Structure 1
Amino acid sequence: MGLFDFVKSVGKKIGIGDEEPKAEDLKKELDSHNLGTDDVQVVVEGDKVVLTGNVTNQEILEKAIIAVGNSLGISKVETDGLKVDNTTTGSVVKSAVFYTVKKGDNLWKIAESQYGKGKGAKNTVIFEANRPMLSHPDKIYPGQVLRIPPLD
């Protein structure tokens, strides 16, 4: 899929002390969301995370990217070695857009900017697309990257 950029100085603190996140800690964080990423391996190269292995669908791949990318100390996530098994879903799912939250944003504003004026009520679509990493719609922060799925 490619290389994805994140803001290194913001995100969830993984591990202990001021250390850079370790692969084991990022894998534990990824697995804690119960996304179906058991066959995903995590390697840390400086401030970049490399994900390899297999996932069952595009949504899980995208959620895995944001689950590890929104970690303090991570600036890039590479997924060239992460494969989607499209035979499970029977069809190819359209990819989501990734959006970096800006100061003053809320999910309503993001929905209007991404889906069009008057579509702020679609903020629930964005919230659901980022669960379980988002626990509450008001708990987003500048620099956080969110999945913006296409509307049906």
Structure 2
Amino acid sequence: MIRTTVALFLFAIVICGLIVFRPFTEGEETTADRLGTPIDTDVEVTRSVTADLATLKEAASAPLTTNAVTGLVEAPRRIDVARPNTDDTRLSDMTNNVLAELGFAGVQAVTTNSQAQRQSTSDILAGIEAATGHRSVLEESETLEAIVIAALRAGETDERIDTIVNEAAAAGTVAVPEILVTSDGRVDTHVLLNNIVTQAQIASGGAAPAIPDVSPDNTEGMEVRFVQRATDEVQARFYTVQSGDSLGAISIKFFGSIEHYDAIFEANKGLLSSPDRIRVGQRLVIPQLDA
């Protein structure tokens, strides 16, 4: 009993000594989190900090990491970009109408999907008016086809056409073919103008563009693998979507024209919900064309 009392008395003396001789740190308190990590209270925390585009791109392409505390795999958050309005007009039909309007010999205008839908809507409104006497006017809207025709007639440069088209698309005043939407959410005017030039050359008696000789050595993002089957070995081609790519651009890169974009889309339907939904970093299968 006496030993226990003495031990408690000595413990109390030690505690008092620590309290008396502890250095005074008035006005210099250190705050720590629940894990004991010091927190600098002089740093002002704000919720209005916005990351710049480079930071967002870096975050989107960051590799998977493992949280050291929880042991869970943390995937980077996917960042979607705003995309222009699209319709199901085929770029080849729109290009054909541009050339016909510009007076190319032998080129006849065709009815595009969007024009057919608009005519159908107009017919429905006319039927409603006949039955009820109530008149509805179908609002006129600007078209990509009309913008391009006006720009070409005015002799605008490629850069100026790119600005005009993308400003109209960003404002939501025009819809564009799905294969012109890039991974960055812009309108691929390079593909648009390239297709006009290509079809103009063919209409003038020129040859269709040849299929390019592409390989991993001259095409960034391309990969080739050889797959052994029961009777033979086949070559499988893959392409990782780069910044600024559109499905039309990828078709031109591998096949020389936009003609085979649908083959690329069909081969990647498990990854692409529609031709305008490609994103940087997606790994696409590039099909081989039949002989």
Q: Provide the TM-score with structure 2 as the length reference.
A: 0.22
Q: Provide the TM-score with structure 1 as the length reference.
A: 0.40
User: Which one has more relative contact order, counting CA pairs under 8 Å at least 6 apart?
Assistant: 1
- By percentage of residues, which structure has more strand? 1
Whose radius of gyration is greater, 1 or 2? 2
